[in-house]
Amino acid sequence: MQDSVPPLQREELFEGQLWRVRLQRPPGNILDRELIPALLKLVQEAQGAAHLRLVSLEGSADHFSFGASVQEHLPESCEQMLAQMGELLQAVLDSDVSIHAIVHGRCLGGGLELASACHRIYAHPTASFGQPEIRLGVVAPFAAILLPERLRRAEVIDLCLSGRSIDGARAAQLGLVDQLAEDPWSAAVEYLEQHLAPHSASSLRHAVHATQNDLRKRFREQSPLQCEHYLANLMGTRDAKEGLQAFLEKRPPRWTDH
């Protein structure tokens, strides 16, 4: 049974310089109340690994992640879901160990928010990136903070308002993806060997801290405001509830525009 399988698999390579981490909830590697805390714990543990230079995150099977659990978006559970997701993203941003996302297949919703918080993204040309929350009558509160670090304002608006997805090649062209490769994992290993391994792990952490400092502060300030608006305003609308329920019932939503 899936519940008996650990939510993450960690492989330590190159004498502890690299942790290869796989999300083990196929097919969609949904970021739920079990997987998010496991990721948070792993990111926190990485800070104490003296020789660690890189943590790579990838999905098991064919996809990176379909995003957060739709069931946990419902009014009775969304406050906890947002709190957990916000804590995880803040931990990734606060990490002084470089964290890179390895993307095959779909990287959607909370999955794209997680990848966007990472320091680099490697992707296969056929990977798919999107923020489809609007199709469910809700929004992507953390993407609104993270995506502008990688994309122009007009592109962020397009993804968040249309709910459409773009492929890896287009994502690389726009700057969302740092490196496009037929084998994204090998590209990450090559980056480690050429650009990280020659340097002091301790000094690299100070470099990561310096380059992330502005974003981590802005996320800490803005994410509570985004969540407050989400809970106090968006989740009070009929259409937010209708969109989520329609998805769970596998039917088209019946919008009232209220």
What is 2-183's CATH topology? Answer: 2-enoyl-CoA Hydratase; Chain A, domain 1 (3.90.226)
For 113, the enclosing helix (H) or strand (E) is helix 110-117
Q: Domain spans of the chain? A: 2-183
**Contact in structure between 188 and 54 (CB atoms under 8 Å):** yes
E runs forming strands in the chain: 8-13, 18-23, 54-59, 98-103, 106-108, 120-123, 128-130, 165-167, 179-180
Kindly write down the DSSP assignment for every residue of 43-69, as one continuous string.
HHHHTT-TT--EEEEEESTT-SB--B-
Q: What integer pLDDT is reported at residue 239 of this predicted model?
A: 98
Would you write out the chain's pLDDT as a tens digit for each of its 258 residues?
455 789 999 999 999 999 999 999 999 999 999 999 999 999 999 999 999 999 999 998 899 999 999 999 999 999 999 999 999 999 999 999 999 999 999 999 999 999 999 999 999 999 999 999 999 999 999 999 999 999 999 999 999 999 999 999 999 999 999 999 999 999 999 999 999 999 999 999 999 999 999 999 999 999 999 999 999 999 999 999 999 999 999 999 999 999
